[in-house]
Amino acid sequence: MFRKGADDNCHQLSNFNIRGGVAFLVSKSLQPFVEVLEIPSNRITEIELNIPDTPNIYLISVYLPAVTQSYELFSKEVEILIDVYNIYSTMGTVVLMGDFNCKIEGPRYTFDYDKRSDSFRSFMQECNLRSLHLETNGNGPVCTFQSYQGEPKTAIDHIIVSIENITICSKIQVPDEHMFNTSDHKPIRCSFALSDNTNCVS
């Protein structure tokens, strides 16, 4: 595990069993090409994938505050994310991934907007971003989260890229309901083509 983003600073979630988070797990073959970048947030982490003769790829892992926490805290983390994206999108391909704790619209998913989703939509529109599994070439279920409390299923987990980078993405899939899973979140997987379009990272 290279980096993690978690509720470390939320004292009300001190019980490990209910504390959420995300992390980067990197295969040994890619480790020589990975550099950890510092982000001023315990919820947003970033690594740079610098493979020789290919453009730099910046992978940003996101764990935005849940609806049980204030909108102000959510908005603060989104502002950090926007700043980070604007910096690194000028230097290479940026991929945002993780638990955004807000619904994002796409061709396969519509909903009634709330305050969180509406504010995040502004960022998505301004930067021409798309959530991969919500596009028409996404496979499997649209909703990635089912609360253990029986609330409606929602799509709050995403892999997000700019619209001009959608063409380098393939094999976009959310596993179906029959997959064994110990989490109330479903994983999303996809492959990214490198510059020669023959080698891929997933």
- Per-residue DSSP letters for 82-121? HHHHHHHTTTSEEEEEEE-SS---BTTB-----HHHHHHH
Say if residue 100's pLDDT is above 80: yes
Residue range of the domain that includes 39: 4-201
Looking at this protein, which amino acid is placed at residue 40? P
Most confident of 1-15, 20-34, 72-86, 181-195: 72-86
- Six token digits for residue 81: 């994310």
> What's the Cα-to-Cα distance from 184 to each of 1, 72, 156, rounded to whole Å?
21, 25, 12
Q: What is the pLDDT of residues 20-54, one digit of tens each?
A: 677 888 889 889 999 999 999 999 999 999 988 88
Here the CATH number for the domain that contains residue 82 is: 3.60.10.10
Structural contact between residues 96 and 82, judged by C-beta atoms closer than 8 angstroms: no
How many Å is the maximal CA-CA distance in the chain? 49
Question: pTM here?
Answer: 0.86
DSSP 32: G
84: helix, coil or strand?
A: helix
Q: How many domains does the chain have?
A: 1
Using one digit for the tens of pLDDT, what is the confidence trace for 155-167?
A: 999 999 999 999 9
CA dist 9 and 46 (Å) reads: 19
What are the tokens at 159?
């892999």
